[in-house]
Amino acid sequence: MAEKLIKRWGVALTTIVLTLASIGVASILVFLIAAFMGTSVSLQNLAAAILIPVLSVPFILIWTLPALRKLRTVEDTVQLLATTDPLTMAFNRKRFAELLEYEFSRAQRYDEKFSILLFDLDNFRAINETFGFKMGDQVLRTVSNICQAQMRRSDMLARLGNDEFACLLPHTLETGATEFAERLRATVADSTVTIGEQQVEFTISVGVKTVDKEASSDEVIRSGLKALDEAKKAGKNRIASAPSLQLQHT
């Protein structure tokens, strides 16, 4: 019952409604008892009818806490499913687009730069065809875990689709982004995934893009993908940097 009331009214309104209802019930009882006994209602009795329900507010709040925790857990789960890739536990493409727009707004407001990495697995299709999709999924999870283990708390990783990832690095210039990309590339190259008797090695190619305050998200993605393509053409398992974007005011 508490859960239904909180869903409809919220905690504060639920507490007020229950308190007022208790006052009403207590007042009616006072008048009924007085009428039954043939006596008049004293101010002390009426005050008690009001005071007792008011003093019960802490108990009402305690009664609603389990329902509130349950609702919060459900809301958090829904939010997680709406913003997270279930395979890798990185953000999904939609959430990345929102975070990128936010970072643009922040960088423009405070005259700062930030960087993004766009990377994907080399020869991922061959991994799936040779070792199966279960192995491919584990490779994707491993790459995601490696990246998230090396990120700062302010950095954000997203899976854009299939084997494509993006990492958003606030307050990061090209030098710092390139150093991070190299650590990520090297760590992935030294990793393996084993399922049963099968073991696979894998690598990534990375495009690095540093953004000034006057860039657009579409241009950043295009520029980052171009850098990623250059890394692929150079032989894969490599890093390529795109020129820093800085657009003029319109």
For the segment 62-81, what is each residue's pLDDT rounded down to a tens digit?
Answer: 555 565 465 455 454 555 56
pTM check: above 0.85:
no
Residue 78: how many other CB atoms lie within 10 Å: 10
Check: CB of residue 172 under 8 Å from CB of residue 161. Answer: no
Domain boundaries, the chain: 2-83, 93-241
Residues 99, 220: contact at Cβ < 8 Å? no
Q: Which DSSP category does 235 fall into?
A: T
pLDDT for res 248: 30
Mean pLDDT of 141-161: 96
User: Average of pLDDT values for 172-187?
Assistant: 96
Q: Return the minimum-mean-pLDDT range out of 4-13, 168-177, 207-216.
A: 4-13
The residue that leads in pLDDT, 90 or 10, is: 90
Burial class, 120, CB count within 10 angstroms (exposed 0-12 / middle 13-18 / buried 19+)? buried
How many whole angstroms separate alpha carbon 150 and alpha carbon 188?
11
What pLDDT shows up at residue 53? 52
- Residues in CB range of 181: below 8 A, 6 or more apart: 117, 119, 206, 208, 239
Average pLDDT, integer, range 112-116: 92
- Residue 44 corresponds to which tokens in the numbers above? 């002390």
d(CA 115, CA 66): 43
Query: DSSP labels for 118-150?
Result: EEEETTHHHHHHHH-HHHHHHHHHHHHHHHHHH
Q: Kindly report the CA angle at 114 between 86 and 102, in degrees rounded to 5?
A: 60
Structure confidence by residue, pLDDT tens digits, 138-150: 999 999 999 999 9
pLDDT band, residue 211 (cuts 50/70/90): confident
111 or 237, higher pLDDT: 237
Residue 137's pLDDT band (cuts 50, 70, 90): very high
Phi and psi, residue 201, nearest 5° = -105, 155
The residue that leads in pLDDT, 16 or 250, is: 16
Class of domain 93-241: alpha beta
SS3 content of the chain, % helix, strand, coil (to 5): 60, 15, 20
Q: Identify the weakest region by mean pLDDT among 37-46, 108-117, 191-200, 210-219.
A: 37-46
- Show the tokens assigned to 34: 């007085």
Provide the greatest CA pair distance for the chain. Answer: 100
- The pLDDT assigned to 34 comes to 47
Can you count the helices (H) and strands (E) in the chain?
A: 9, 7
Mean pLDDT of 96-110: 88
What integer pLDDT is reported at residue 198 of this predicted model?
Answer: 94
Q: What is the pLDDT of residue 7?
A: 45
Length of the chain, please?
250
Q: What percent of the chain has pLDDT over 70?
A: 63
Mean pLDDT score across all residues of the chain:
78
